[in-house]
Structure 1
Amino acid sequence: MSRIVIFGAGGRAGRHAVAEAVARGHEVTAVVRDPAGHRDLTGPGVVVAAGDVTLAAGVAAVAADHDAAINAAARLDTPSELFYVNAARALLEGLTRAEVGRLVLIGIGTTLETAPGVPFHDTPGFPAEARAFSLGHSAGLEALRSAETGVDWLVLAPPPVVLDNGAARTGRYRTGDSRVLPAGENTAVFSYADLAVALVDEIENPRHHRSLTAVGF
């Protein structure tokens, strides 16, 4: 059993990550900006805490005495590049202070490559507004890559589609590298529940390190 701190626990991905971790017997600190608005997260094995993923001191305080961290936080009310770069830097600094050595972040499939050096968000016809958001994720990834840190981080990026929030957990997924995964036999839309399985698997048995890694069916 581990103690896992999950940032952005109030969102779809974060809630599924909390549920998956607790179901496996881990203790979870679910970090949200406003705990009063997320009282439903509280339950056996879960403590809800206030925190801002862009502030290193706050990250360090809430992550103290934990074994690993998951970041599912997102902000739509601030420029994506500013948010994801600040979050990456604050997480690495704060987790270092708290002596938390493993960090798994949820990426976005539009940053995955469709050809060498060509991310999905640079393909013809990709919407400009969505591209700006995706570029923020890319900037956050570069902040991770360029940092001198002892934190063993990993960005897991699901397919570049809207994930299924209601599908039941299958426990099945596959991983690749920084490219969009080729179509497999399973034609269903990848779910948040199975993304959560992959996230917690990488906490329990780390297989990928300091990389952008595709995950999906």
Structure 2
Amino acid sequence: MSSRIVVFGAGGRAGRRAVAEAVARGHRVTAVVRDTDRHRDLAGDGVSVVAGDVTRADSVVEVAAGHDAAINAAGRLDMPSTEFYVSAAHALLDGLASAGVGRLVLVGIGSTLETAPGVAVHDAPGFPEEARAFSLGHTAELDVLRAAETDIDWIVVAPPPVLLDDEAPRTGRYRTGDHRVLPAADGAHTFSYADLAVALIDEIESPKHHRSLTAVAA
């Protein structure tokens, strides 16, 4: 059944793949970006491109009204990571609730996954400080989601803590886990943005995980 999906951060690598995957399955997509002039190429059959700010609840309400589900793939490097992700989490929870959108799928980051009880990848000795600061923003976002008294059915989908392949074709195959790094599978290839998008849209079409951090991998 066709759904209306609003994708925040639609101009990025994960966002673009999510838009393409959703449209390929027959869904209608509103692609939300900060600067529509830079991303006019996103527009096409089944896709409308609009300007929006995921850190402002009023903007979220405006672009999300009338949709069935939302994906947040937005990220910013021009402000502190914790500030951005915390603001976005609050704005999404408040805005989507006001807009009547009940399902929220967020793109996480693999460095927040645990390698041992209570020990995230970004806590490893020697983990780059700049990358750790960015990862901690995602952790702060998750803290907001977990603490919220909300009817929004959210999930954070976290790919492996490695660089994803932006060129690899879609296989449609992936594994899911929990809040821990998934062990490498025999013969597994580098996880791709295309297959991350498959996992994101699957969680909208047939939600299997709820209010959790969920690892995905090849």
TM interval, short-chain normalised: over 0.9
Give the match for residue 4 of structure 2: 3
Q: Aligned equivalents of 2:83 and 2:148: distance in 1? A: 16
Helix, strand or coil: the match of 1:48? Answer: strand
Give the match for residue 143 of structure 1: 144
TM-score by length of 2: 0.99
Runs of 4+ aligned structure 1 residues displaced above 6 Å come to none
Give the match for residue 95 of structure 1: 96
**Pairing of 1:7-86 with structure 2 (within 5 A):** 7-86=8-87
- How many residues are aligned here? 217
Q: Deviations over 1:159-193 (max 9, x none)?
A: 00010000000000010000000111233110000
Q: Aligned equivalents of 1:127 and 1:36: distance in 2? A: 34
Give the match for residue 132 of structure 2: 131
What is the Cα deviation at residue 45 of structure 1?
A: 0.2
- 1:115 is aligned to 2:111: no
Helix, strand or coil: the match of 1:164? Answer: coil
What is the Cα deviation at residue 41 of structure 1?
A: 0.2
Give the match for residue 210 of structure 1: 211
Paired residue type of 1:213? T
Gapped regions of structure 1 (runs ≥ 5): none
Q: Deviations over 1:123-174 (max 9, x none)?
A: 1111111111101110011011111110000000000001000000000001
Question: How big is the alpha-carbon RMSD for the aligned residues of Structure 1 and Structure 2?
Answer: 0.5
Q: Aligned equivalents of 1:213 and 1:186: distance in 2? A: 22
Q: Deviations over 1:3-61 (max 9, x none)?
A: 00000000000000000000000000000001111000000000000000000000011
Helix, strand or coil: the match of 1:44? Answer: coil
What is the Cα deviation at residue 78 of structure 1?
A: 0.3
Gapped regions of structure 2 (runs ≥ 5): none
Identity %: 73
TM-score by length of 1: 0.99
Paired residue type of 1:108? I
